[in-house]
Amino acid sequence: MKTFTVLSVLLTYPSEELQQAVPIMMPLLQEEGILTADSVARLAPLLQALEHQDLYELQEQYVLLFDRSRSLSLNLFEHVHGEGRDRGGAMVDLLETYRQGGVELISSELPDHLPVLLEFLSTQPLETAQDILADAGHILVALAERLEKRRSSYAAVFQALVAFAHADASSEQAQELLAQPTDNPEDLEALDAVWQEAQVMFGPTANESAAPQVHEAPIRIHRPLAATDS
Residue 52 exposed, middle or buried by CB count within 10 Å (0-12, 13-18, 19+): exposed
Asked whether residue 224 is assigned to any structural domain, the reply reads: no
Confidence of residue 5 (pLDDT cuts 50, 70, 90): very high
pLDDT at residue number 183: 64
- Residue 190 reports pLDDT greater than 70: no
Average pLDDT over residues 194-208: 41
Neighbours of 218 (CB within 10 A): 18
pLDDT at residue number 213: 39
The pLDDT > 70 percentage for the chain reads 76
CA distance 186 to 173: 28
Asked whether residue 218 is assigned to any structural domain, the reply reads: no
Asked whether residue 97 is assigned to any structural domain, the reply reads: yes
11-42: b or e for each residue (b if 16 or more CB lie within 10 Å)? bbbbbeebeebbeebbebbeebebbeeebbeb
Asked whether residue 83 is assigned to any structural domain, the reply reads: yes
pLDDT at residue number 81: 54
Entry pTM: 0.79
**Contact partners, residue 127, CB within 8 Å, separation at least 6:** none
Domain, as residue range, for 167: 2-197
Average pLDDT over residues 30-55: 97
Mean pLDDT of the chain: 81
Average pLDDT over residues 101-106: 86
- Residue 199 reports pLDDT greater than 90: no
Query: Which uninterrupted H or E stretch holds 182?
Result: none
More confident: 116 or 225: 116
- Residue 202 reports pLDDT greater than 70: no
Confidence of residue 86 (pLDDT cuts 50, 70, 90): low
Q: What backbone torsions phi and psi does residue 75 show, to the nearest 5 degrees?
A: -85, 100
Count of structural domains, the chain: 1
pLDDT at residue number 201: 40
Asked whether residue 152 is assigned to any structural domain, the reply reads: yes
- Residue 230 reports pLDDT greater than 80: no
Asked whether residue 82 is assigned to any structural domain, the reply reads: yes
Asked whether residue 202 is assigned to any structural domain, the reply reads: no
Under 8 Å between Cβ of 11 and 114: yes
Tell me the CA end-to-end span of the chain in Å, nearest whole number. Answer: 5
Single-letter amino acid code for the residue at 116: V
Asked whether residue 203 is assigned to any structural domain, the reply reads: no
The pLDDT > 90 percentage for the chain reads 57
Average pLDDT over residues 180-209: 48
pLDDT at residue number 196: 47
- Residue 123 reports pLDDT greater than 60: yes
